[in-house]
Each structure stands twice: as C-alpha cells, then as structure tokens.
Chains A and B, each alone.
Chain A
Amino acid sequence: MKRVMLILLTVVFTLQALAQDATEIARRAYLKMEGQSQYAQMTMQVQRPRWSRTVKFKFASKGTDYALVLITASAKEQGQTFLMIKNQMWMYNPRVNSLIKIGPSMMSQGWMGSDYSNDELMNEGSIVKDYTHKILGSEKIQGRACWKIELTPKPGKNIVWGKQILWIEKKDYLILKSELYDEDGYLVKTQIASDIKNMHGRIIPTKFTIIPEEEPENKTILTIVDIKFNVNIPNSFFTIQNMRRGMNINFNF
C-alpha cells in the first residue's frame, strides 16, 4: 500500500513538474520578445492572389499602454502615424492634415490591409497567463530541436482559440512555429518564424509568415529590419503633437 502511494505521489509530482516546465518554457519564450520598451523597424508584405503590397514602418512602444507607429513606405502612405495610449487609438494623415480617433468599428479592419487587425495589434493575450501548458514532445523545425507545447485557454479567459500549439526552440526559447485552432479543433492559421539573427544582443527570429488555413495563398509576411529592447523613451514621445510631425519624428533611441 505504501509503495503504491509512493508511486502515485511520484507520478503526481512528476506530472506537476512537467506542467511547470511547459509553463516555464512558454514564459521564457514570451520574455524573448518582451521588453519594458522597444523600438523596431519592420516591413510588412501582404500577399493576395491578385495583388501584393509592402508597407514599411517604424514602431516604438513603452509598456502595454503606449505605442506609436510611423509608416515610411509605400510612397502613398508615407508619413501616416498611429498612436495608441491605453485603450485609445488615433490615426494621423499628413497629406490631408487629418487626425482621426479610431472607433471600435474601425478597429476590426485589417491593419494596412494585412491579416493583423487593429484589434489584434492592441490585444495580444499573454501566452503565459491565460493558458495551461502541456509538453507534447520534441520535434525538429528548420533543423532546430524544439519543444512541442500545447496551450489550452484557462476557463473564463476571453480567448477565441480552442487551443494553440507552439514549437519552441530548446536552446534559445524561440517560438519557431505556432498553430492556432478553433473550438472545434480545426486549424485556423499557422505562423512560421525564421531568419534567426542577433539584434543588439538578442537572438530572435526576424521573419514571421502568417498563413490562414482557409486561404493559404493570402499570406502576410512581417520582417524585422531592426529591433532594440528596453530603450529609454520619454513619455512625451507618445503625444498627438509628436505624431503630427510625421516623417520628422525622431526614432533615434
């Protein structure tokens, strides 16, 4: 009897330890892309069967409350800025000198025509806090050994996904692939991260491809040209005055 208890206890503890491991892996992966503040320069390519377009932008954020985006290309959209303070969002267009506060209905439109919606950009549910984690095994992605981890939303959390499966690289804790499933267990979209580079001391993937399962030809590719974490950005940077400066905004941190 005692032995059975012992075995049971061992099993329970091991399972718990495993679960904690999975959560710990997710937490480390999350921290890889997280900083108190950050500055980035990115290129977004939206591919559709009949057209494709490329948008380049600079981006600075502080905590989860402040963010400012400046579009630097294409020529048509150059100078447009987006400012987010807490739950509010503004858009400024220098050509017509118009400042618009973005209402809830506009938030749903894909940002600059991509598969990212304004909504998604503002509400990135934490992959650590809102899910329970389970290691499914190990697999190689792009030749690198990865943990395959299943994320199930905790009850009561406002998550649209039924589950997520993440492939997290074992050495550097990089999320190289993620699959998002709906509540019925069908795959909705896949995100693939590649082109791992050293960006000012952090080793991170710099190319992200999002492939919606229903329309695989409608890809969105996000490339990080430059990114710095934990840079010192004054609060005065995130103001409407600053966003009105358009192309003259100083992103040298």
Chain B
Amino acid sequence: MILSIAWKNIWRNKVRSLILIGTIAFALAGTIFIIGMMDGWMKDRNIKVIETELAHIQIHNPDFVSNLSLRDTISSGQKIISQIMKMDFTMAVNGRIKVMAMVSSSYSSQGALVIGIDPDRKHEVTKVYKYLSDSTSKWLDQVKRQNVVIIGRKMAKDLQMVNYMITDASLSTLADMGLPLSIISKLDSLQGKKFHTTTRFYNALEKLLTEKELDQYADLIANSCHSYKLGRKIIIRMQDINGNVVEEAFRIIGVYDTDNDLFDGMYLFVKKPYLAGLLGLSHGTINEIAIITNDQRKVEEYKATLKQKFPGLLIESIFDMDPTMRIMTSLIWIYYAIFEAFILFALSFGIVNTMLMAVMERTKELGMLMAIGMNRRRVFSMIMNESVLLTLTGGIIGIILGYLLVLYTGHAGINLSKYAQQGMEAMGYSAVIYPHASPLLLAETTVLVVITGMLAAVYPAIKALKLKPAQALHTDV
C-alpha cells in the first residue's frame, strides 16, 4: 500500500523526478564503466603474469633465489612434480630450468634470463605461446630443430632484430587508429623503403616529423610496420654446472609480446632437454617448479599445504613473488568501494534536495494525512520509500547502461596506444583495455544505491515528522 502510494507520488512531478533519475543513471553508468575499465586492466595483467611469468605457486631450492646458481637445483624434482600432480587443487604443474645468460646479436649484447621449458605446449604451465606476436612466429613444438629460441618484443628491438617498412596496409592501419592525416601524408615518402635497424627507422622519422609528433606517435608508427628477423642467429652465453662458460648459437623462431617491457626484455624461452644438455645437467634436473591451481583466491591455503608436505623447499605464492598482485586482487576492492562511495555521496545531495522539495510542497497534504489518522511511522516509511524507489530506478537504469557499455567495449577493446603506449607498457600494462564488470561489482553497487536512498531520505522525513497537523493544514502553498 505505502509502496504504491510512494511510487505514485514520485510521478506527480515528472520533470523533477526524471532529472534526478537521469543524474543518478548517468553517474552510475560512468562509475560502473570506469571501475570496469580498471578491473579489466588489472585482470588482463593478472592473467598475463600468471600465464607467462609466475603461475600461482613456484617452488625453488631456498639457495637458488639468493645466488641464482645452477647448482641449487630441486633434488628429486620429478618425484615432487608427480606428487603435486596428484593433489586435488593442481590444474597444471611443470618443472623448468632457469638460468642467467648473456645474449648477443651483431648489434648489441645484454643480460637475460633463459627459461628451459617443455617444448610440448600441452604439458606446459607457461602459456607464452598465446602471446606470439604474429602468424609467422612459431612455438617450440612447431620446430624440429633443437637450438631455437623465442624472444620478447622488447629484446628483439634491443638486439636490432626488427625490420621496418611502411606499406599501404600499415598506413591504413594507422589511419584506422586515428593517426592525423597530416602525419600519414608525411610518412608517404617513406613508403616501400626498408629499414633494417630501429635506429635507422627512427632517424628517418626524425627527419620527417616534429619533436612533439615523434614523442606521441613514433612508437605507434614503428609498431604498425615492423617485422621480426625470424630465423636469425643470436648467441647465448651461460655458465654450466661446473662454472665453465658455454655458448651456443640459437635461431629466433618466434617473438612474443605481453605488453610488459620488463618481462619482454628479459625472458627468453628454449627447449628444456636441449638446455639441460648444454649446461651439463642430468636428465630431468630442474630448478623451478611452477603450479597453476584451481582457484587463485585460495593459493595461500594451497601454499601452506605444500609447505607442510615439502618442508625443505622455498614455496612462494604469486602474492609473495609479486606484491602488486595482492593489491590487485584484494585491496583494489576497497579502492572501488571508496570511489563509488564518493560518487554516491555527491549524488545524495541531489536526492536530499529533491526529497526536501517534495516534502515542503506537500506540507498541507501531509498535515491532512496526519489529521485523518496516518501515524508517524507510516509517514516516515512513505517518504523513505519514495526516496529509495527514486534512487533505485535511477540506479538500476545506470547499472544496466554501464554494464552494456562494459560489455560492448569489453568485446571491442579500448585502444589507448595513440596516447600512452610507451608509458603503460614500460609499467607492464597493456595499451588496449578490455573492460570487465563482475556480478559482485553490480550487486555491491545496487546495495550501495539503496543505502544511499535511505540515508538521503532521513533528513526530509524528519522534517515531515516535525510538522504539526493543525498548523500544516493552514499553510498556503
């Protein structure tokens, strides 16, 4: 009864109510979208970190982490792996060989971490093959040859293993990405010319573009027209198990790109059995075990279980290895909540204002209702209901709008590379964002909207309760 009166009351002043509903709807759609964007961004990074670098849990010899020496292997590693495989939370487990190395091309040399992994992608925890940069790149299991290597985009660039050539196709891609036409026409003169090093290409760009244009677009242009020098040789130099330097030429068969310069510039992947042979390790020797579990939120529990079972080993969860992951998965929700609270707090002023107006202009009517016997509790609940219904209508429309926006952009992706590719990838975040909104977020928002509606109605309702029926009846509105 009260509810339907409240609903009817809302529509007595359509324009005023619609304005408020619209305000709430837009504010909430924006909030959901922005949070969805952040969440999608974090999720993308989280998945990449798990799939390419850390997995959920890693196991090492305790001495390995401090000196990264090849001697600190995991003894009876294969036995431990088969034991872990039997545990019910294990989705995938694998042993690897990780070793510090020096890589050189004709142009430069740099330090690197060589990871020897199972060539067969079915058995591997590492899913770097998902991030191969283009269709010409191959994964380790597609090549019979043993001395082959997969390197990252950043390293390919540093070792000058990239060719550049501007073509019609790359120009039209750039145009699609929103590069100004003035710049595209400047690039026209470079069409068809091949540049075999990054330095050369950037020098050519420098001659054509202004400094500001270079800052903003050089990397974008470079990324649209590069091709990797697959099949070329790099020399990898490492210390073997006896401390002797071994060096070997590897052919680049693939280049991966995880949008993380730190990772892409450091890690390279080779076939485990071949690496073990080079380093003089006996068959099956490993110095790292990586595990993917069935639930990321429970990794700390699983870690404790593993610690009990294998007391002599160093067992670390993804949160130990990369503390930012902890921030992303748990603390970020507090951030979202604060963000939403601020938006709703700002909105509540509007709601209070509207409800106050509604109460004021109905002083006479409220006085009448009270005079004919409607008790105070009912008056209070009527105003409360009005406010909650008003807020909730706006809220639900906003949440639906925001969710649709997230669904659409989450499918299409938001490409920010035009603005900030370099900066973001240096920090390890992709420049293309795929927003994502979890049901939890939507539920949380709905609850917060109801609470806001209720709190905002308290003051107007109290105001209404303070009315004296006799006086109220005599007011002229």
Interface residues of A (CB under 8 A from B): 87-88, 103-108, 117, 119-120, 123, 156-162, 180-184, 186, 188, 214-215
Contact = CB atoms under 8 A, between A and B. Distances in A.
Nearest to B248: A158
Given A103-B100, A104-B100, A108-B111, A183 B200 contact: no
A122 B110 CA distance: 15
A231 B135 CA distance: 58
B101 A104 contact: yes
6 smallest CB-CB distances across A and B, nearest first, come from A105-B111, A182-B106, A214-B199, A87-B245, A108-B110, A104-B100
B237 interface: yes
Interface-central residue, A87, A106, A160, by most chain B CB under 10 Å: A160
Contact of B107 (A119, A157, A182): A182
Interface residues of B, number: 29
Contact of A119 (B102, B196, B244, B248): B102
B79 to A, nearest CB: 31
Given A105-B111, A158-B248, A119 B100 contact: no
B411 interface: no
Interface stretch (B57-65, B227-235, B280-288, B290-298): B227-235
Chain B at the A interface: SS class:
strand
20 contacts: A87-B245, A104-B100, A104-B102, A104-B237, A106-B111, A117-B109, A119-B102, A120-B109, A123-B247, A158-B235, A159-B235, A160-B104, A182-B106, A183-B106, A183-B233, A186-B196, A188-B106, A188-B107, A214-B107, A214-B197
B158 to A, nearest CB: 10
Contacts of A180: 106
Given A119-B237, A215-B199, A87 B106 contact: no
Interface of B: 100-102, 104-107, 109-111, 160, 196-197, 199-200, 229, 232-235, 237-239, 243-245, 247-249
Contacts, number: 71
A108 B229 contact: no
Contacts of B233: 160, 183
B244 A87 contact: yes
A162 B106 contact: yes
A103 B109 CA distance: 14
Contact of B243 (A87, A156, A159, A214): A87
B106 A158 contact: no
B243 A108 contact: no
Contacts of A160: 104-106, 233-235
Contacts of B199: 214-215
